[in-house]
Structure 1
Amino acid sequence: MTPEEVAAATALPIAMLGSKYYFSETTNAALAEAGFSGLSGYVGGRGGVLGDVATDVVVSAFALFSPSFIEMGWTQTKEQGTPTDAAAAFAEGLGRWAAETFGHLDGLADFAAAARAVFDATNPMSQPLYAGWRAMPVPDDPAAATGLALKILRELRFGFHVHGLSAVGMTPVEAVVAQLGPEQAQMFGWAGPFPDPEPLKAIHQQAEEITTARMNEVYEAIDADQRAHMAATVTAIAAVVLG
C-alpha cells in the first residue's frame, strides 16, 4: 500500500473515532474519578499535555475554537485540578475505552508499533498538541497503545490542517463554517452572524489538499506492509466502533 492510499483510507475514520472516545462514558468516568467535569474534560483533557500554560497558548493550540470557549474550559480545568492531571486522566480513559470497544481485535500491537515509527520520524513543527500527545507514556496494553496512537494521529493531521488553513488565509470561523456549517460553529463557541459557507468551500478544499499532502509524506516512514496493516486495523476498529 502506498503512503497516499493509507492516508486516504484512514483520515476520515480516525477523525470520526474522536467523537466516540471524547464523549464516551468510559473516558468521562476516568476524568470524573480525577475530579474533572464539564468543559475541563475536553479542554483540559485534550490540552493538558501543554502543561500549566497561559490561556492564550491553549487558544492558539486549539486554533478553531472561540477564545472565550477555551478560556472557560481552561479556567475550569485549573479550578478542578492541574492540566497535567486532566491529560493523564483522559489518557487513562482513552485506554480503557479502547480495551473495552476493540481490544478483541488482532494485530493491535503491530499497529501501535507502526504508528510509533511514524511518530518517531515526524517531528512537530508548530504542532503543540501533536508534540504533547506524542510525548505521553505508551501503555503496555496493545489496545490502549492503539487508542493513544489513534489520538496522536488525529492531532498530527489537525496540526497539518491548521498549517493549511493559515496558508490559504482562512480565519478560524471561516474554516469551521466552510467545513461544518454555521450550526457547528456555535458548538465551537462562535457567535453569529456567520459568513456564507458556499464561497468558502473552494478555499477550504485548498487547505485540505495541503493537509493531505503532508499526511501522505509521514507514511513514507514505514513500509508497504505496515501501511496496509495500519489501514486494515483502522478499518476494523471503525467497523466495530462506528458500525
Structure 2
Amino acid sequence: MGHNEMLEAATAAGAPIGQAITLFMLHPETFAESVAAGYENPFSGYVAGRGGVLGEATGVAVSSVFVIFEPNLLCSLWEEGIAVRPAAEAAKLYWDQTAGFARKYLAGAQGLDRLAVLGEKITAVTPDAGLPLYAGWRRMPLANDAPARAMQVMFILRELRAGVHFSILTNSGISPVEAHMLNKGHDYAAMFGWPEPFANGADKADLYAAVEQQTNRRMAAILAVALDGNEAAELARLSSGALDSLKIAVPA
C-alpha cells in the first residue's frame, strides 16, 4: 500500500472511531449513569471520568489538555467531578461505563476481536509523548470480552487522534471557537461553554482544512509503523462496521 492508500485508510478509520466514542460519551444513558453515580451534573462525570487518567491535576492543567472547552467551565466541571470521587476512581468508573455500553449495544458487530487486535498493534508501538490523555488511557486494563475490549481500544485510538489533532490545531492559530464554528457549528461552541458572540472563523476555512489534512497525514504515518496496507484497510472497514452496528442498536 502506498502513501495515498494509507492516508485514505487512516482517514476512513478515524471518522467512525471518533463518532462511535462520541455516541457513547454524549448518549443520555451515559449521562444518566453518571448522575446515578453521584455526579449532579453529568458533564462533570464526563470531565472527571475522561480526564481522570491525568491524576490529581489542577483544573487549569486539565483544561489545557481538553483544549476546546472554555477554560473556566472546564475547571469548574473538573473540580465538581473530583469532589464526587478521586480522579483515578472516576477514570475506572468511566472505563467500566465504556465497557457496559459496548456489551449492551456493540455485541452484534462483526470482527470485534480483530478490531481490538489491530488497534492494540497501533497502541503498542505509538509513543505517547505530548499526548497525555492517550498516554493515560492506553495504560488502563482492557476488558476480556470482545465488545467491551473493542470499544475500549477504539476509545484509546480516539484519544490518540484527538491528541494529534489538538496539537496541530493549537499551533495553527485557529481559536477553539473558530474550530467549533468551522467544524460542527454554533451548537457545539455553546455546548463547550464559549460565550457569544462566536467568531465564525470563515477567513480560516482553508487553514482548518489544512489542519485536518495534517492530522490525517500524521495518523497515516502512525498506522504505517504498526500495520501493513491490508491491515490498515481492515481497521477502517471494521471500524465503520462497528459504528453502523452501534447506530442500529443504540436508541436515539
SS in 2 for 1:36: coil
State the distance in 2 between where 1:187 and 1:25 align.
15
State the distance in 1 between where 2:107 and 2:232 align.
20
State the distance in 2 between where 1:194 and 1:31 align.
30
**How big is each residue's C-alpha offset from its partner over 1:158-192, in whole Å with a ceiling of 9 and x where there is no partner?**
11111211232222222222222233211110102
> Which residue of structure 1 lines up, in the alignment, with residue 19 of structure 2?
16
Residue 130 of structure 1 and its aligned partner are, at CA, apart by: 0.9
Counterpart residue type for residue 4 of structure 1: L
2:235 is aligned with 1:225? no
CA contact (8 A) 1:21 1:94 kept: yes
Return the match for 1:53 from 54, 57, 65.
57
Structure 1 residues 93 and 29: CA distance shift in structure 2, 3 A:
farther
Please provide the CA RMSD for this pair. Answer: 1.8
Residue 30 of structure 1 and its aligned partner are, at CA, apart by: 4.7
State the distance in 1 between where 2:176 and 2:110 align.
39
> Which residue of structure 2 lines up, in the alignment, with residue 159 of structure 1?
163
- Count the aligned residue pairs: 243
Residue 47 of structure 1 and its aligned partner are, at CA, apart by: 0.6
2:207 is aligned with 1:203? yes
**How big is each residue's C-alpha offset from its partner over 1:186-213, in whole Å with a ceiling of 9 and x where there is no partner?**
1110102221332121111111111111
**How big is each residue's C-alpha offset from its partner over 1:51-79, in whole Å with a ceiling of 9 and x where there is no partner?**
11111110011001101111121111122
> Which residue of structure 2 lines up, in the alignment, with residue 183 of structure 1?
187
> Which residue of structure 2 lines up, in the alignment, with residue 144 of structure 1?
148
Identity, in percent, stands at: 31
TM-score normalised according to structure 2 size: 0.89
TM-score normalised according to structure 1 size: 0.92
> Which residue of structure 2 lines up, in the alignment, with residue 212 of structure 1?
216
CA contact (8 A) 1:48 1:83 kept: yes
Structure 1 residues 33 and 165: CA distance shift in structure 2, 3 A:
same
CA contact (8 A) 1:24 1:97 kept: no
Structure 1 gap ranges (5+): none
Residue 25 of structure 1 and its aligned partner are, at CA, apart by: 5.0
SS in 2 for 1:242: helix
Structure 2 gap ranges (5+): none
